[in-house]
Amino acid sequence: MFRPLNLIMGIFSKDLGIDLGTANTLVYVRDRGVVLSEPSVVATDTRTSRVLAVGKAAKNMVGRTPTNIVAARPLLGGVIADFETVEIMLRYFIGRVHEESPFLPRPRIIVGIPSGVTEVEKRAVHEASIQAGAREAYLIEEPMAAAIGAGQPIQNASGNMIVDIGGGTTEVAVISLGGVVVSNSIRIAGDALDQCLVDYIRTEHQMLIGERTAEACKLAIGSAFDDIEDSTTLVRGRDLNTGLPRALELSTGQVREAMSGTIIELVDIVKLALESTPPELLADIMEDGIYLAGGGALLKGLDKRIETDTDIPVKVAKHPLEAVVRGTGHCLQNLKVYREVFLTEDGYPNN
Ligand code: ADP
Ligand code: MG
């Protein structure tokens, strides 16, 4: 049926795609691209329950807060632990990019959510999106969005494997004909690699470093394959014997050793997904390769490591940190084509 009002709204509404990640939230505006990327952190004053900061400002507070302020990551384990905080975050990020105007229609919104979330959580995110100002809200599983964002032909009758390594969770999925055939998710990803470094430096060098220092060290010289060029970096923390500040020089080899156990676990989850993939799809994957997305895909040598251990070619998505949000953006531009990849009836508009 021809609905002129819908057509006009479609042209003028500033539709949004949102990646609610465990580490970072990104927003895509239709016809403009990725306009915002900030940490998924909310700082709250526990005495008054007042939200003090969201995003970058809140992340800066992590590890530096007085006792009455908590800087929390509401999606940490890939599940929505604290729904109210998620709603506050959604509202804040939507508000940042969407100026309300009585002359403009409210936006349609596509939200990427972790694949493990329950029906109740899906409904909650849908509700929060409407509350936060959406005219229509659709939900999409993050691995599906990541695969679309990485440019995989997910609607073909062939197997597409995507491995999305985020901050809190790693999700592996095999997608064919627009549906998820195999999916696997673990709570081991970028944060776990940082934690490995904290633990290693504590036990091997009797020194305590903060999470953010560990992440900076990983970004500077972290690697997963041993043909990476050697370099060093300086980390600062507290000597556990003297209690005084201390600086320590770490080499590429030491950092790799510290992270090796977790890297093995990451490779294992990929192998596990391959083991439960139907043989026809496996043949497609061997031909097209395994795609990596998420910030963890940027770890040097991880692609080579997975390639060596599985004997399947590995490709890193062009913009791994933006794969999910670009996927939601691609769906926004082609809503009709992608209708069937959205999650539940709850995600559909009423008309
Ligand atoms: P999420 O989807 O869970 O929000 P992201 O895809 O945004 O997570 O990825 C965040 C993770 O990627 C963090 O753990 C961060 O340390 C890691 N990361 C980002 N850039 C790099 C890099 N160059 N090398 C290694 N890890 C990286
Ligand atoms: Mg993600």
In this predicted model, what pLDDT tens digit does every residue of 16-64 receive, in sequence order? Answer: 999 999 999 999 999 999 999 999 999 999 889 899 999 999 988 877 7
Among 18, 19, 24, residue to substitute to test ligand 1 (most atoms within 8 Å of Cβ): 24
Among 299, 303, 322, residue to substitute to test ligand 1 (most atoms within 8 Å of Cβ): 299
The residue among 161, 199, 153 whose CA lies nearest residue 178 is: 153
Q: Ligand 2 centre and the CA of 39: distance in Å?
A: 11
Looking at the whole model, is its pTM more than 0.85? yes
In this predicted model, what pLDDT tens digit does every residue of 265-291 receive, in sequence order? Answer: 999 999 999 999 999 999 999 999 999
Is the beta carbon of 171 within 6 A of some atom in ligand 1? no
Q: Ligand 2 centre and the CA of 5: distance in Å?
A: 35
Is the beta carbon of 74 within 6 A of some atom in ligand 1? no
Among 256, 298, 325, residue to substitute to test ligand 1 (most atoms within 8 Å of Cβ): 298
Q: What is the mean pLDDT of the chain?
A: 90
Query: What atom of ligand 1 comes closest to residue 193's alpha carbon?
Result: 14
pLDDT of residue 62: 78
Extended beta strands in the chain, E state: 16-20, 24-29, 33-39, 42-45, 50-54, 69-72, 108-113, 136-141, 160-165, 170-176, 179-186, 207-208, 232-239, 245-251, 290-293, 314-316
Average pLDDT over residues 113-134: 86
Is pLDDT of 4 > 90? Answer: no
**Contact between 139 and 346 (Cβ < 8 Å):** yes
pLDDT of residue 350: 39
Is pLDDT of 2 > 70? Answer: no
Q: Ligand 1 centre and the CA of 47: distance in Å?
A: 32
pLDDT of residue 327: 97
Is pLDDT of 71 > 50? Answer: yes
- What residue owns the CA closest to ligand 1's atom 9? 295
